[in-house]
Amino acid sequence: MSVFTKIIKGELPCFKIFEDELTFAFLALDQVTLGHTLVIPKREINHWFDVPEFDYIQMQKNSQKIGRAVQKATGSPRVVTAVIGFEVPHCHLHLIPAWSIGDLNFGKAKRHPEGEMIRIQNEIVKALTTS
């Protein structure tokens, strides 16, 4: 069972942003920029191209809505996406608020204090529910 499956099942804590029957979204533990969110299919599938089409389409549709909320909450001009897949063997789409191309540098990822994570989580969820 992947760490993401444990998060979905509630066995590990997370800063949840969104959930429906097929997808789950939460803040990345290591934030490239504050607001960095992961969107995953609930099915534990390693490679993005192996995700069943219906699940993948739902993941992408939700990523657009969540990306708009991340942009609104952070004030970033862009929210960039990346599917890397080396860290956890469970497909995940990174949504990263960006002010420049340099903001897509995973080497800059860092942990933020819990209070800061809760604040940005609340801002994103609020933006998601009001859009």
Question: Which residues participate in catalysis according to the annotation?
Answer: 92
Spatial distance between the Cα atoms of 32 and 13, rounded to a whole number of angstroms? 20
The answer to whether 17 and 27 are in contact (CB under 8 A) is yes
User: What dihedral do alpha carbons 130, 95, 120, 13 form, nearest 10°?
Assistant: 110
Cα of 120 vs its chain's centroid, Å: 13
Q: How far apart are CA 107 and CA 126, in angstroms?
A: 29
Q: Distance between CA atoms of 8 and 22, rounded to whole angstroms?
A: 11
